Amino acid sequence: MKPTNTQVLFRREPRGFPTATDFEIVNTSLPELGPGQFLLRNLYLSLDPYMRMLMGGGWTFRGKPMSPGEVMVGRVIGEVIESNNADFRVGEHIVGRLGWQTYAISDGSDLDFKVIPKDAIPLTAYLGACGSTGVTAWAGLKMIGDPRAGETVLVSAAAGSVGSAVGQIAKAMGCRAIGIAGGQEKCRIVTDEFGFDACLDYKRGDLAAQIRAAAAAGVDVYFDNVGGEMLDTVLPQLNKQARVPVCGVLSQYNAAGEPYGVKNTRLIFDKSLRLQGFLLSDYRQQWDQARAELEELVAAGRLRYRETIAKGIENAPEAFIGMLHGHNIGKQLVQLA
């Protein structure tokens, strides 16, 4: 007898921050497997800020927003429990963007990668430090930021899963890493656990003065996860020919009305700056290389990470909303099985 599949559906566009009523939880029956298909029991779900953009009701990015009734988009790590595909055997673990659900049927074409088990690396890391989170940090920092040993790398949202990885990768490359986070406790974690050289609490105010004090010689790479007013504040602190990988715009995802317009754009010309936005999919050809390097760093204890884990798919909407409010530290996951 097939198990029942519990799914979280997108119900309606939020206005500002999502609420529980923007989601719907349903139970569905699983069909029989077709030729070349296999069944995954999903173990963990990754919750990430980009999902908010796909919900519409505000600013979105490439691709069309979700439609009401669709399964919420999201990456999972699952275990193959039944297979009609010789390339995917029972017991193997797979990562793919298969949605907020407890089971998924696939033919392998819609997956990210198959996990090759490593003794020092837990499965959950393949949704975080050794998965999409770490690869995003690696790609933005290395391919766009192009840091050189001795340079200063500044990272916003440094207590988050991407930001914390960026700083540690920068340190491994011989750079000085400075984080920006919200609150004393998050800043403590950024320096004491993630090993940044300094962390600035934007909630204390006068962020520009804090940056000048922590980076007296200026900033060479700014890894931007926040955008908006914070980007405006950072631009004057950048050195000539600094690089700015733009990974996200956290300050704008839930904003109602007109989005914030950056004012200091003249500095892009004055300082010969390079600002480049990117998506993880832009660097798909580098995923294997990135993951191999990240696995080495994690196994060696040079890339540490935190996970905030909610239990049960029925709690995924609440965990997602909490993440958008900054309640998590590190990677926000939901344990599904």
* Domain 132-281: top CATH class: alpha beta
Contact, 262 vs 233, CB < 8 A? no
If DSSP codes are grouped into helix, strand and coil, which group holds residue 12? coil
Which of 185-194, 231-240, 326-335 is the least confident region?
326-335
Tell me the residue type at 305. Y
| Residue 309 backbone phi and psi in degrees, to 5 | -120, 120
Q: Is 23 exposed, middle or buried (0-12, 13-18, 19+ CB in 10 A)?
A: buried
Average of per-residue pLDDT across 50-71: 80
| Model confidence, pTM | 0.89
State the fold for domain 4-128+305-335: Quinone Oxidoreductase; Chain A, domain 1 (3.90.180)
| 269-322 per-position pLDDT tens digit | 999 999 999 998 899 999 999 999 999 999 999 999 999 999 999 999 999 999
Q: How many residues does the chain have?
A: 337
Which of 7-11, 35-39, 232-236, 329-333 is the least confident region?
329-333
CA distances from 150 to 133, 187, 219, 267 (A): 25, 22, 11, 24
| CA neighbours closer than 13 Å in the CB half-sphere of residue 231 | 27
Give the domain ranges of the chain: 4-128+305-335, 132-281
Sequence-separated (6 or more) residues with CB below 8 Å from residue 40: 76, 78, 79, 80, 81, 94, 98, 103, 104, 105, 106
The neighbouring-strand residues paired with 177 are: 153
Average of per-residue pLDDT across 182-200: 97
CB atoms within 10 A of CB 201: 19
Q: CA 182 to CA 91: how far, in whole Å?
A: 41
| 87-127 per-position pLDDT tens digit | 999 999 999 999 999 999 999 988 999 999 888 899 999 99
Q: What is the structure's pLDDT at 120?
A: 87
CA distances from 170 to 12, 122, 137, 261 (A): 40, 23, 10, 29
